[in-house]
Structure 1
Amino acid sequence: MPLTILTVVGARPQFIKASPVSHALIAHGGFREILVHTGQHFDAAMSDVFFEELDIPKPAYNLEVNSLGHGAMTGRMLEKLEEVMIAEKPDWVLIYGDTNSTVAGALAAAKLHIPVAHVEAGLRSFNRKMPEEINRVVADHVSALLLCPTQTAVDNLKAEGITKGVQHVGDVMYDVTLSAVERAKGRSTILESHGLMPKSYAVATIHRAENTDDPTRFAQVVRWLSERGREIPIVMPMHPRTRKLMEKNGLTPEGVTLIDPLGYLDMAWLTHNSAAVFTDSGGLQKEAYFHRVPCVTLRDETEWVETVEAGWNRLWINESYKPRRNIIDYGSGESSGRIASLLATAAP
């Protein structure tokens, strides 16, 4: 009998990370995957396009939980995910990252005594004010298989007393990036449509609550981008919530071209050809490294410390990069296959 894997996704980064793992499960054989979309990202530009571009099977379930506060959203997801898990009786629940969908999937499974496998386990910013940090910690402490992208993540878990089921598998995002660049070469027209020449512009994104929920902080980020915009043109795909905040507060950074959210291939090609990345996104910090583009993180800490230590990333509160080198921890683009093998052999 094939092992049933119930995969919980809900936000843009999770759709992307699920793509190579879903393909690896098919290639490995012996699995039946049930994809559940919580609905956390419900806008077609933030959701549907990723399933199409990355060739992910359409979700078996769409729970349509969105536009709620943290407590209400997580609670509603818990309720609906529990119903799905009881009906499907999976051997594993597979979760990704650090969103409300992540922690809801972890808690629903744990309460039903279904083993949880967490992709990107062990990441820590050590800032408990970030909702993502709480989600990471909770998810890791109820997981049976902790799939770590780096040795630092393994060490973080050990410091919290978690050693059983911990595996350093490398980063599935590297798998995605390698294939996305090749696919985007012949498909993306994002540079031509915005009159951009390679390495003549920077890419920016803002969406983290720590930047958008504090008006003073948000204004500070916009001013910082305006200063950079005087040095190099900036293209900024806009998260819908960030656009509303800018319009509400009359804050538009100078030298920045605001554009609608992009599909993954367009975003990969835009980043690959940029001269710099300015972001508060954990995922984009790392993707910038995969594209070998220097990044400035618009936060006071980062869970991706390797990118800082290797000189490809710096916090905006610092003025210079460390000496640049490659990062071997992220693997060579074969992390998804390792995850499939572990799911097949680990005792549920």
Structure 2
Amino acid sequence: MTDVAFVLGTRPEIIKLAPVVQACQRSGIEFTIIHTGQHYSDTLDSVFFDQLELPAPDYNLRVGSSSHGEQTGEMLIAIERVLTEIDPDVVLVQGDTNSVLAGAIVASKARAELGHVEAGLRSSDRSMPEEINRIVADHVSDYLFAPTEQSESYLLDEGIPAHRITVTGNTVVDALVRNREIAHRKSTALADLGLVDTDFFLMTAHRQENVDDEKRFRDILAGVERTAKTHGVEVIYPVHPRARERIEAFGIDVPDPIRTIEPLGYLDFLRLSVAADLILTDSGGVQEEACILGVPCVTMRDNTERPETTDVGANQLSSSDPNRIVITATEMLLRDGEWENPFGDGDAAERILQALPLDAEVREVAR
């Protein structure tokens, strides 16, 4: 039997659950890491355990990539077997992936109690698979760890009892506090890419609603190209495997001002994020990180589940419209990065452990 079982499967989950794993280590809480294998690239995934100085997963389910139904079904079967074997008191999931959905469903039907880290995020767009995953996870969880009061309000509006919700801040702040220094010390990405003392923008685009739609994907690339030419800079684009497949399938020639590179390890991507003059993205996690790091951000989507970033002036939505991308990028470059960080003080992991029914001494932090 173990105290806590972490179910995770993708890069953001590893990064954001790392502070909670490390808090368990400090407090002597026994834990088991169950890795679904949802990300199947070492560059995107398993290398993080070494980079972040985390213990290797106790179980690797190696589910890999497939359709939503097939992938989730395989996870359900495998996670149930593991939870039956280890019999945890608490299962923790983080975010909105298929790994979260599967872990939440299995745990909700098991003896263990379920905690959802980063609960209450809403884009109000149910066409996004992530929106369905996060809603289901929230409504079957015993403990909902909302990163902000805005997230808490969404949960309360949906009828979730207040006693199940704890506003903790976001564990991404905990992670960045620790990992920014590690990235500065260990990463050679700026030198390797010839970006030392050079102005550049950083781009990510991988979400299904963007890269699976040929017109949207082409519009995004056109808008980023025009933005780069307007400001006379190069855009660095680490290409996710999903986006790479679509570029090839659609026969897209990526414009010259956009330099495509292989996916980066977390520390290398963090190093580039800190040094970039602007980040253009469709990633929710990157929006958060840019906001916390003080780097202006343009989100190339029609909505965001991180409205706090736009509220404080750290981020603007551009949709996929090329003109809007250019306009919002120009506006964001005028920002000074001095906005307030809405995601907490770096003690989210400790607050999460304090809220769980665990017999352990956890460092007290201010509520």
Shift of residue 65 of structure 1?
Answer: 0.6
For 1:102, the equivalent position in structure 2 comes to 100
Distance across 1 between alignment mates of 2:198 and 2:105:
44
Establish whether residue 158 from structure 1 lines up as the match of residue 156 from structure 2: yes
For 1:250, the equivalent position in structure 2 comes to 251
Unaligned stretches of 5+ in structure 1?
Answer: none
Establish whether residue 337 from structure 1 lines up as the match of residue 350 from structure 2: yes
Correspondences of 1:119-138 after superposition (within 5 Å): 119-138=117-136
Correspondences of 1:289-304 after superposition (within 5 Å): 289-304=291-306
Distance across 2 between alignment mates of 1:199 and 1:164:
50
| 1:311–1:256 Cα change, 3 Å | same
Distance across 2 between alignment mates of 1:100 and 1:169:
23
Shift of residue 248 of structure 1?
Answer: 2.4
Distance across 1 between alignment mates of 2:358 and 2:145:
14
| 1:81–1:191 Cα change, 3 Å | same
Greater shift after overlay, 242-251 or 292-301?
242-251
| 1:289–1:240 Cα change, 3 Å | same
Which of 59, 71, 74 aligns to 1:73? It is 71
SS at structure 1 position matched to 2:34? strand
Correspondences of 1:279-318 after superposition (within 5 Å): 279-317=281-319
Shift of residue 114 of structure 1?
Answer: 2.2
For 2:139, the equivalent position in structure 1 comes to 141
For 2:91, the equivalent position in structure 1 comes to 93
Q: Structure 1 counterpart of 2:305, which letter?
A: E
For 2:208, the equivalent position in structure 1 comes to 209
Q: Is the 8 A contact 2:172 2:289 kept in 1?
A: yes
Q: Is the 8 A contact 1:307 1:327 kept in 2?
A: no
Shift of residue 121 of structure 1?
Answer: 0.2
Distance across 1 between alignment mates of 2:277 and 2:341:
23
Identity %: 40
Shift of residue 224 of structure 1?
Answer: 1.4
Q: Structure 2 counterpart of 1:239, which letter?
A: H
Shift of residue 253 of structure 1?
Answer: 3.0
Distance across 1 between alignment mates of 2:155 and 2:7:
22
For 2:364, the equivalent position in structure 1 comes to none
Distance across 2 between alignment mates of 1:184 and 1:201:
18
Q: Is the 8 A contact 2:309 2:342 kept in 1?
A: no
Distance across 2 between alignment mates of 1:105 and 1:154:
22
Distance across 1 between alignment mates of 2:198 and 2:155:
39
| 1:71–1:50 Cα change, 3 Å | same
Q: Structure 2 counterpart of 1:293, which letter?
A: V
Distance across 2 between alignment mates of 1:44 and 1:11:
11
Distance across 2 between alignment mates of 1:27 and 1:150:
25
Correspondences of 1:254-293 after superposition (within 5 Å): 254-293=256-295
Unaligned stretches of 5+ in structure 2?
Answer: 360-367
Q: Is the 8 A contact 1:34 1:59 kept in 2?
A: yes
For 2:116, the equivalent position in structure 1 comes to 118
Spell out, residue by residue over 1:189-246, the C-alpha distance to the aligned partner (whole angstroms, 9 max, x if none). Answer: 1111111134600110111111022122111112112212213210011101111211
Spell out, residue by residue over 1:143-183, the C-alpha distance to the aligned partner (whole angstroms, 9 max, x if none). Answer: 00000111100000000001231000001001111111111
Q: Is the 8 A contact 1:297 1:316 kept in 2?
A: yes
SS at structure 1 position matched to 2:120? coil
Distance across 2 between alignment mates of 1:132 and 1:190:
31
For 2:218, the equivalent position in structure 1 comes to 219
Q: Is the 8 A contact 1:306 1:327 kept in 2?
A: no
Establish whether residue 33 from structure 1 lines up as the match of residue 39 from structure 2: no
Q: Structure 2 counterpart of 1:140, which letter?
A: D
Which of 45, 48, 51 aligns to 2:46? It is 48
TM-score by length of 1: 0.95
Distance across 1 between alignment mates of 2:100 and 2:277:
33
